[in-house]
Amino acid sequence: MNLLNSITVTHIDPPVTVHSEKGRVFDMADRPTFGLSLCISGQITYTMNGRRYVSEPGSAVLLPQNGSYSLYGDKEGLFPLINFRCEHFPFREIFVFPLQNPAACLKDFEALKQLFLFKGNRLQQYSTFYELLHKISAPRLPDRNPLHPAMPYIEQHLSDPELSNNVLAREMGISEVYLRKLFSAHYQTTPKQFILDLRIRKAKQLLTDTALSVTVIAGECGFSSVYHFCRAFKQKTGFTPTEYATLHKIDRI
């Protein structure tokens, strides 16, 4: 049964990215809207009616309107969140959806965030949100990507400047040559560029969703120096980190 197939979205709040700290405790009573939460990093456990639901990378969590629950921050991380209202969804419980393509879902979230930031057309906002719902509700296929086991290691060591092709290949028990072939086949890029793209994505989130300095963010994202970070960020985005932070509003809840 496709739970999201028949809903009619009537309102979407501006998307935000929540920074959840380890050990965070929060009780929600009679939630005013539905909430769709993704996970870039970290882990949150929700408890509702005696049942536990885990939000972690590779999953999406649907939080029910009028629902009451508690949450606990198992691991510090970033959680994109869209609050919305809809019709034709009678369920009042939490649902967790394994994602077939987490990166594509995060890309849709960022696109939706930009549409709200720059006052995008309302039809575009709803179209992008429905596309995100479609991706979330798609059944997850068996993972045949041989690089899948490497993703948790990359996530855990993204802030380490020493993360390299050699380190990653050794962790996977394969040669660097084969590692590059796998990344080229499955992601159409090199391991170095793949890691750089993740670091830049993380830097964007920290620049827009926290008050951390550029120097601290450079270290958090695995750059060996603030100069290296600023140059790489400018090459990827066309903006300096300071310009990007000034241009994009800060959303924290």
pLDDT at 6: 73
In the sheet that 51-55 helps form, which strands lie side by side, from edge to edge?
A: 25-28, 69-75, 43-48, 51-55
Residue 202: strand, helix, or coil: helix
What is the pLDDT, as a whole number, of residue 53?
94
Domain 150-247, CATH class in plain words: mainly alpha
Q: What's residue 251's pLDDT?
A: 46
Axis crossing angle, helix 176-187 with helix 191-209, rounded to the nearest 10: 60
pLDDT in tens, the chain (253 residues): 467 777 899 999 999 999 999 999 999 999 999 999 999 999 999 999 999 999 999 899 999 999 999 999 999 999 999 999 998 787 789 999 988 888 889 999 999 999 998 776 889 999 999 999 999 987 655 556 778 778 888 988 999 999 999 999 888 888 899 899 988 888 788 999 999 999 998 998 888 888 899 999 999 999 999 999 999 999 999 999 999 988 875 444 4
So what's the pLDDT on residue 253? 40
Domain assignments of the chain as residue spans, ordered by start: 8-137, 150-247
Determine the pLDDT at residue 143.
53
Q: Looking only at Cα atoms, what is the longest distance across the chain?
A: 54
Check residue 155 and give its pLDDT.
86
Q: Name the CATH superfamily for 8-137.
A: Regulatory protein AraC (2.60.120.280)
Topology alike, domains 8-137 and 150-247: no
